[in-house]
Amino acid sequence: MPTRRDFLASTVAAAALSSAQRHHAPVALAPPLTRPVVLASANGLRGVKVAYDRIVGGADCLDAIISGVNIQELDAEDQSVGLGGLPNAEGVVQLDASCMHGPSKRAGSVGAIEGIATPSLVAKAVMDYTDHIMLVGEGAKRFALAMGFKEQNLLTEKTRQDWLRWKARLNKDDAWLDHNDDVAIKFTTGTINMNAVDARGDISSVTTTSGMAWKIPGRIGDSPVIGAGQYCDNTVGAAGSTGRGEANIKVCGAFLTVEFMRQGLAPEVAVLKTLERLVAMTEPRLLRPDGRPNFDIQFYALAKDGRYAAGTLYDGAQFAVCDDRGARLEKCVSLYPRLPR
C-alpha cells in the first residue's frame, strides 16, 4: 500500500503538471528512441554487420559505416570499389567518395583520386580537417598524403588483365593482342552506399566507388556529389544510390528521396517517386522502344525512425540491412518487371 509520503509526492507532481498546462509551459519529455539500423547496397552485406555492431557498441554512426565500406574498398576481389577497382580507359584506377554526418551537419567528398585505397576515409578527413567539402584529382591525393594516407598501386593483376581484354576489343587492327579466351568484357558502375541511424536518432551516410569501368579519365559520377550519391538530414533520414551516376546527377536523387520523406512519404514510396522522376529526365537516346531506360539504378532510403527501403528500375535487385534481427539481404521495390536477357 502507498504511504502518506507517496500520496503527497504524487499529489504535488500532478498539481505541478496541471499548473504548467494552464500556463502553457513546456513539459520536458524524453526523446523517443529508435532501434539502430544500417542499410546498404547488396555488396555491403558484410559491412552492415560490422557497422551495426560498432553502433551498438557506442561508436559514432559515420565512423561505423565508413568502417563498413572499408571492407569492400580493401577487398582486391571486389572490382567496383577501392583496391582492384576496374580502371579508366588508360588503365588508371580513379576513385570517388563522399560522406555526410547528420549531427554536425557536415560533409566531405573526393573525386578522381588515385593511389589511395580508402577514399571514404579521405572524404571524412576533408570534412573533419578543412573548410571545404570537395577535393578532386591531384589536389585530393596531395591532401591525403599530407594527412598520412599511404599511396599504393590499386591496379591488381586480375584487374589489369580485364583492362587488357577491354583494350584488345576496341579495334581489331590496333597493336593490342587479343584475348581470345575471354567470354565477355566486364563492365560495371559498381558502388557501395551505406546509411545508418543509431538509438538516439542520429544519422549518417557514405558512398564510395571506382566509378564506371573504362571511363574517360577524369570522369566523375554521382558518388562524390553531395545530394546525388548520398545525402543525410538528421531531422529526416538518409538516402544514397548505386548504378548509372549520370542519370542520378540530373535529379539529385539522394536529396530528392530525403525530401520526399520530409513530406511524410514512407521510404518505399520515396524511392519509387525518385525513380519516376529519373525516368522522366532520361534523354531519348537512353530509352528503349517501350520508353523505359536501357540501364538500371538503385536508391536506398532510411528514415530517422528506423524505417527503410530500396528501389530499383527493374525487378530482381536486393539490398543489405542489419538491425536487431541480424544482417540479411532483402528485395528492392521496383518500377518495372525484370529486363529480358
Residues identified as active-site: 191
Q: Output the CA–CA distances (angstroms, integers) from residue 162 to 34, 89, 149, 152, in the order listed.
A: 45, 12, 27, 20
Residues in CB range of 117: below 8 A, 6 or more apart: 73, 74, 82, 83, 95, 152, 154
Indicate the pairing of strand 318-323 with strand 237-243. unpaired
Nearest to 101 by CA among 136, 131, 63: 63
Nearest to 34 by CA among 265, 236, 331: 236
Nearest to 311 by CA among 263, 271, 270: 271
How far apart CA 36 and CA 202 sit, in angstroms, is 9
Cβ proximity of 196 and 51 under 8 Å:
yes
Nearest to 270 by CA among 252, 282, 254: 254
Cβ proximity of 84 and 77 under 8 Å:
yes
Residues paired with 327 in a beta bridge: 322
How far apart CA 244 and CA 21 sit, in angstroms, is 54
Q: Residue 293 carries which DSSP code?
A: B
Q: Output the CA–CA distances (angstroms, integers) from residue 240 to 12, 171, 194, in the order listed.
A: 51, 37, 7
Number of Cβ within 10 Å of residue 282's Cβ equals 21
How far apart CA 156 and CA 275 sit, in angstroms, is 35
How far apart CA 291 and CA 230 sit, in angstroms, is 27
